[in-house]
Chains A and B, each alone.
Chain A
Amino acid sequence: MRSLQVQAMAASHWQTKAARETLLQRARMLKNIRAFFDERGVIEVETPLLSHFASTDPHLDSLQSCFREQHCYLNTSPEYAMKRLLADWQQSIYQICKAFRDDELGPYHNPEFSLLEWYRIGFDMPQLMDELEQLIKHLCQLSPHISIDDAGFERLSYQQAFETFAGINPHQANARQCYQLALEKGIEIPQGLGPDDDLGQWLDWLLMQLVLPGFAKERFTFMYDYPASQCALAKTAVNEQGITVAKRFELFFGEVELANGFHELTDADEQLSRFQQENRARQQAAKAQNPIDENFIAALKSGLPECSGVALGLDRLLMVFTRSRAIEQVLSFSWENS
């Protein structure tokens, strides 16, 4: 009797939990993405998933592997390798690939996920946001749930979003003020986050608790001009109010983040110094320091063309198109039964 139950469980475990129609829609989405970029003369490329180097981003953890006793890393995004091609070719490129992140599992996270990443030579940030908007509208034709008319796009600067929905200027606030605001608004304060913690962590928490819930539910929202402290691989620039901001944007549907883009930093020295700074932050957070991708730095030194690039999470986009509540509903097999 017991063994029969075990067999029954195993029997349901091997099958996909995704609806057949959802997986067919994934196939159509990939086809339409390729058609979109073909038409624009953007070349599809493929770069390694496995690398000797890893991202130094203190908020990302790489999955690690071993080849002939040599330590290696699964990529958290194809960014470094794609920029090496960009520096080499001076040509706009796109890639559809898997990316891997340790410790990311939840309704919107699977340790392995699909990314569309592309780089446009000569584009600034607003131009790339325009193209991302066009792509989404193009793909929305696939979804019976979203009409192109409904697929409205809002654009808000990080500052506007925080001022509107949290009542705080993120460029002038400090951690203590954020803490006070959390107390006043009566929002939960996570264990481990106190008034003396890093401002960036507080802004991330307020973003999730106060700002994103204010975004229009069934619409796409671009948020751009991030605090310079969150610049990652983006250029920084001084805005109209004299504040240095990162030329970085993210795209959300409702509260869900779909894409992250940069007006790409081309300065090799600045990039190297940011990586070193990130490694120091990793050390402070008791995380292993990661080997900085010297090939990538060398490519920047040789000359990355002025460009903008963006990574779009395809699983989450498919969740939007299919009205799915959990990422496993759009994956053939999720971590649970992979």
Chain B
Amino acid sequence: MASNIAFIANANRQKFNMATYSTNQFKNGLKIILDGDPCSITENNVVKPGKGQAFNKIKAKNLRTGRVLERTFKSTESVEAADVDEMNVEYLYSDGEFWHFMEPTTFEQYAASEVAVGDAVKWIKGQEACVMTLWDGAPLSITPPNFVELAVAHTDPGLKGDTAQGATKPATLETGTEVKVPLFIEEGDILKIDTRTGDYVSRA
């Protein structure tokens, strides 16, 4: 199986032949480069003093850091396009330094750094279907499935007779992540977790 170590491509980002967008092409969801990072436009408004020069005021989310930026452009100014794609991938394994994912139809493999994997690492153990965002062909971020099923590796036994409504206790999952669970949960139970909130949903 050919292993495509795509992070190397990041170091060799092709700087020539850059695509650009003019401000009149701005719309929500358009991916552009701001301060060297790929960003997605979330708001675009034209402001204009009466008859004169128009300016575009935009808000954009930095796809690497998640931070929201505000910027103003002189109208007709052009901005470098960010080559950002999304791809369905399956999580394979981690070698401690990189997390390896595979595109299930081409079997092409991608190695994502710890920064790119981010919080997804809390919820994936192998074989999960994730969404990988790529920038210039290299993994930028990983979104785990909304719901995952993980076993409880460790939790204290629930106290008998504690009937307090909604009482919880900590439990450590097989990925090492700690979540709050109801008192009746025991070690070895498989739990359904909402990865967007990190909340326990039910026993699987």
Residue positions of A touching B, CB distance < 8 A: 57, 59-61, 102-109, 188, 190-193, 197, 200-201, 203-205, 207-208, 212, 230, 232, 250, 257, 260, 285-287
Contacts and interface: CB of A to CB of B under 8 A. Distances in A.
Contacts of B49: 204, 207-208, 212, 257
A104 B54 CA distance: 9
A192 B50 contact: no
Contact of B45 (A105, A257, A260, A287): A105
Given A191-B72, A191-B79, A104 B55 contact: no
B48 A191 contact: no
Most buried by A among B52, B57, B76, B79: B52
Contacts of A192: 73-74, 76-77
A103 B54 contact: yes
A103 to B, nearest CB: 5
B53 interface: yes
B15 interface: no
B75 interface: yes
A191 B47 contact: no
B46 interface: yes
A201 B75 CA distance: 10
A230 B24 CA distance: 23
A59 B72 contact: no
Contact of A106 (B45, B50, B51, B74): B45
Interface residues of B, number: 23
Contact of A103 (B46, B47, B71, B72): B46
Given A104-B46, A105-B46, A106-B47, A190 B74 contact: yes
B72 A188 contact: yes
Nearest to A61: B24
A-B pairs, 8 with minimum CB distance = A192-B77, A192-B74, A106-B45, A204-B52, A190-B72, A204-B53, A257-B50, A201-B53
A208 B54 CA distance: 11
A103 B75 contact: yes
Contacts of B47: 106, 108, 208
A198 B71 CA distance: 20
Interface string B14-57: 00000000011000000000000000000011111111111101
